Amino acid sequence: MNKSLNPKILRERTKQFALRIIKVADALPRTAAGRTIGNQLIRSGTSVGANYRAACRGRSKAEFGAKLHIVLEEADESVFWLELIVEAGLLPADKIKSILDEANELTAIFAKSYFTAKKNKS
């Protein structure tokens, strides 16, 4: 099994991602845009780990796949908010690069996992 797909490692990785997301949101300016985007980022970024944990506890392949799809959506949404933060000039790109890279990696991992789970379900 690919080390990056190990459930224990992914649980920890998604929790660390959530913690880093919270720090990014806290660093945003206290403007209407900063607060709104920060709230959205916290919702999507922390949801990645919470829903991944729920997927791991899935009672069936179908339930696992459904939860994994939510994880994928939330990871991709996190990428969107992080890109928006940079493009709107709310934080410098160099401050966001490593968390954006992680968000993109997690999105790729969960996309592959979701499509594998979907294929194995049939």
Q: Total structural domains in the chain?
A: 1
Percent of the chain beyond pLDDT 70? 95
Q: Determine the Cα–Cα distance for residues 40 and 58; give it in Å rounded to an integer.
A: 26
One-letter amino acid for residue 34 of the chain: G
d(CA 11, CA 24): 20
CA distance 14 to 9: 9
- pLDDT tens digits, one per residue of 2-44: 555 799 999 999 999 999 999 999 999 999 999 999 999 999 9
51 pLDDT above the threshold of 70: yes
DSSP state of 122: -
pTM of the model: 0.92
Spatial distance between the Cα atoms of 90 and 82, rounded to a whole number of angstroms = 10
- Find the CATH number of the domain harbouring 113: 1.20.1440.60
Return the C-alpha torsion angle 95, 45, 81, 21, nearest 10: -20
For residue 115, the enclosing domain spans 3-121
